[in-house]
């Protein structure tokens, strides 16, 4: 089991550019979560999916952020246009037992720096 | 709504010292409780859990007991090592079953040799 796979591990981009973060959940897991972590705000839940359907995106900070899950094995988080305040570590997590299960498996994260 | 409150960090201990990280919660019903650990440069990992009152979760020498009467789930370890340096998150799972885990803000632990 390769775990939750996120790419890229590090991304440096210029303000105004589009950024796409990718996540491959564990096979058989039916819930997927996107989190953002910063020193100031801590860990924030951005959006989550159940069976590929977005359930709650109220944590997405602005319309510049969007997420998709076209199939059970892939999800993307897109920021367009990016801003320096979007700099953070973005984590994807998946769960086999549903949204409320404690068995979340996190990826290693994507460290995004917007200059 | 449901919430989790953890002691503020950072916590700095010498190797072999006793560790306690306090966690209290507010929730309706009887949620499941969890501790996650985040090592430097990594994502969160489930450390231990307890699903009902008086249950004790344990893993890697860490323990936490689900105390309904005090709505607490304090993390303890009898003798910490440098390798335990990490950020520890307390979390709860709502009894409704249809909302994500609620995480505390995390407590950073530094163990010095």
CB-based contact (8 Å) between B71 and chain A? no
Confidence of residue A78 (pLDDT cuts 50, 70, 90): very high
Predicted confidence at residue A102, as pLDDT, reads 72
Q: Searching chain B, which residue's CA lies closest to the CA of residue A97?
A: B97
CB-based contact (8 Å) between A34 and chain B? no
Cβ contact (<8 Å) for A102 and B101?
A: yes
CB-based contact (8 Å) between B28 and chain A? no
Cβ contact (<8 Å) for A108 and B42?
A: yes
What is the per-residue pLDDT across B13-63, written as a single tens digit (0 to 9) for each? 999 999 999 999 999 888 999 999 999 999 999 999 999 999 999 999 999
Total beta-carbon pairs less than 8 A apart between chain A and chain B? 52
What is the per-residue pLDDT across A2-59, written as a single tens digit (0 to 9) for each? 899 999 999 999 999 999 999 999 999 999 999 999 988 999 999 999 999 999 999 9
Predicted confidence at residue B29, as pLDDT, reads 83
CB-based contact (8 Å) between B52 and chain A? no
SS (H, E, C) chain B: CCEEEECCCCEEEECCCCEEECEEEECCCCCEEEEEEECCCCCEEEEEEECCCCCEEEECCEEEECECCCCECCEEECCCCHHHCEEEEEEEECCCCCCCCEECCCEEEEEEC
């Amino acid at each position: 089991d390769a775990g939750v796979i996120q790419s890229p591990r590090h991304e440096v981009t210029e303000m105004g550019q589009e950024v796409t973060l990718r996540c491959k959940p564990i096979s058989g897991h039916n819930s997927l979560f996107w989190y953002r972590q910063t020193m100031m705000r801590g860990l924030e839940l951005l959006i989550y999916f159940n069976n590929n359907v977005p359930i709650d995106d109220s944590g997405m900070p602005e319309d510049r952020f969007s997420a998709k899950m076209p199939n059970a094995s892939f999800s993307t988080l897109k920021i367009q246009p990016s801003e320096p305040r979007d700099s953070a570590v973005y984590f994807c997590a998946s769960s086999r037992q549903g949204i409320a299960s404690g068995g979340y498996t996190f990826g290693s994260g994507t460290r995004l720096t917007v200059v | 709504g449901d919430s989790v409150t953890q002691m503020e960090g950072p916590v700095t201990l010498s190797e072999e010292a006793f560790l306690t990280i306090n966690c209290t919660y507010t929730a309706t019903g009887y949620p499941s409780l969890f501790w996650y650990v985040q090592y430097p440069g990594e994502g969160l990992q489930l450390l231990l859990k307890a699903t009902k009152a008086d249950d004790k979760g344990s893993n890697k020498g860490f323990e936490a007991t689900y105390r309904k009467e005090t709505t607490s789930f304090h993390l303890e370890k009898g003798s910490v090592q440098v390798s335990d340096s990490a950020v520890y998150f307390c979390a709860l799972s709502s009894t409704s079953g249809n909302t994500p885990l609620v995480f505390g803000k995390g407590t950073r632990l530094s163990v010095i040799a």
